Structure 1
Amino acid sequence: MIRQAMIFAAGEGRRMRPLTLDCPKPLLSVAGRPLLAWHLDRLVAAGIQRVVINLHYLADQLRQWVKQSAPVELEIIFSEEAQLLETGGGLLQALPLLDPAPFWLINGDIWLDSLPSAPQLEAEELGRLWLVPNPPHHPDGDFVLQDTGQRATFSGCSLLKPELLSTAQRVATFGEPRTGAFKLAPLLHKALEQGRLSTALYTQGWMDVGTPERLEALHTHLTGAAR
């Protein structure tokens, strides 16, 4: 059973401005609760025990909210970035805070009904990505669904092994053992090309909460009423 997870929460939320001028995006309220609270509840329900959260923008607010309001069932550890490391660099910095076992990786600006069922990964597998049908704001998708061959959009939820960020994989992807700030997507594409990463369709409720309009749409979905 998967016991650990990481949530990306370091970004500045520029597309969410002005809402994020004085509030980190994971603490924006939807249906009366911060986005981060929804994620942590989903992780508790899935049996997660340890969660790493990366911090940068308005980090003190996130740290204080976790101290006061996070579920007591979770051990929460922070990976603070002196400068933004993007998704790949942020994950690489945080890996020593996780056990050398598979972990859930979740974007802080999405909403999920629940975590999908975790597959049993084979020895050579590096993980699985869950995709959703392409939303109107992202019609071209990100990856190909293995079952259908159709392009679909990354949900922001994946199950990964730390080996995805190994020196060998970084050299295979970038031609060098990349450190510092770099994106995770090239590593995912390389692992898919190698046949070491799989894709599956996420069939439950999902939303990319990347703009004020989509935050409002999620609030309406959850409450049945406009803000």
Structure 2
Amino acid sequence: MTQGTTLSLRPQPEAVVPETAMVMAAGLGKRMRPLTATRPKPLVEVAGKPLIDHVFDRLRTAGVKRAVVNVHYLADQMEAHLRARVKDIDVLISDERAQLLETGGGLVKAREMLGDKPFLCVNSDNLWVDGPTDAIRSLAAQWDDARMDALLLVVPLARAHNHPGSGDFRLDAFGRIVERREPGRMAPFVFTGVQILSPRVLRDWPEGPFSTNLFWNRAMEAERLWAVVHQGLWFDVGSPPAIAATEAVLAEM
């Protein structure tokens, strides 16, 4: 599979977007210092609004009805912002003030709020622009519960703006994720921070903090880890220099 290949798992039916989303917002934002000295990273502004507002704009457009948001660093600010800004999506708080649980542990802590149906999971420190179709709806249209435990939105490494890494995954010709990047090598696709997960993946977890990689690896071994390639713009907004770089591209649109 070459970089930039457009994958189509199957003809797109009418998208059934999950009603519930998990918004990952509990990180410390160390790479974004000094901007995060007095505010949590999701409240850092890019293109005129906080990162988490961009996320909620996308959730709102896609038709998501409720969002579970985990909080840890400067959690009071996060909660106050969500109360003031989000009126049309039901927001539930998964409180990690006592212990930051990383992505996998955060999902486990929030599992009862996420329900028993497939749910959307979105990182709050990335920014994307839809391509010809709404990215979340495109992801939802490809979800196949019989074949999938996780469906990730990925972007070609060559189009991953500001991304400092070497890629994350290799895909087969059908869109199944078949390989994680190995140390010292590059992989053609980068995870955008947007995915649909089945509640089935939340099982047999370790105590304390751990990464979602545990669930992905299990799904990949079972040939149930899939991807859809994002056709629009995507930005890794992880550091102060990335803000200016992102805004410069958006200003040219």
Letter in 2 for 1:200: V
**Pick from 105, 121, 131: which aligns with 1:105?**
121
Separation in 2, partners of 1:13, 1:76: 22
The Cα of 1:160 is off from its aligned counterpart by 0.7
TM-score, normalised by the number of residues in structure 1:
0.88
Deviations 1:163-210 (A, max 9, x none): 11123xxxxxxxxx4121111113212211210111221111111111
What residue in structure 1 maps to residue 168 of structure 2? 142
What residue in structure 2 maps to residue 76 of structure 1? 91
Deviations 1:74-114 (A, max 9, x none): 00001011111011001110111112111111111100224
CA contact (8 A) 1:131 1:145 kept: no
1:65 alignment partner, SS class = helix
What residue in structure 2 maps to residue 173 of structure 1? none
**Pick from 131, 136, 144: which aligns with 1:121?**
144
Separation in 2, partners of 1:137, 1:66: 28
What residue in structure 2 maps to residue 53 of structure 1? 69
Identity %: 38
CA contact (8 A) 1:138 1:153 kept: no
What residue in structure 2 maps to residue 95 of structure 1? 111
Is there any run of 5+ residues in structure 2 with no aligned partner, and where? Answer: 1-15, 179-186
The Cα of 1:215 is off from its aligned counterpart by 1.5
Report how many aligned residue pairs link the two structures. 215
1:206 maps to 2:234: yes
Separation in 1, partners of 2:112, 2:145: 23
Letter in 2 for 1:93: K
Over the aligned positions, Cα root-mean-square deviation in angstroms equals: 1.9
Separation in 1, partners of 2:172, 2:192: 15
Q: RCO greater where, 1 or 2, for CA within 8 Å and sep 6 or more?
A: 2
What residue in structure 1 maps to residue 12 of structure 2? none
Separation in 2, partners of 1:186, 1:98: 19
Separation in 2, partners of 1:20, 1:40: 20
CA contact (8 A) 1:188 1:197 kept: yes
Is there any run of 5+ residues in structure 1 with no aligned partner, and where? Answer: 168-176
The Cα of 1:139 is off from its aligned counterpart by 4.8
Letter in 2 for 1:83: Q
CA contact (8 A) 2:163 2:235 kept: no
CA contact (8 A) 1:146 1:199 kept: no
Separation in 2, partners of 1:224, 1:92: 41
1:182 alignment partner, SS class = coil
What residue in structure 1 maps to residue 83 of structure 2? 67
The Cα of 1:140 is off from its aligned counterpart by 2.5
What residue in structure 1 maps to residue 209 of structure 2? 181
TM-score, normalised by the number of residues in structure 2:
0.80
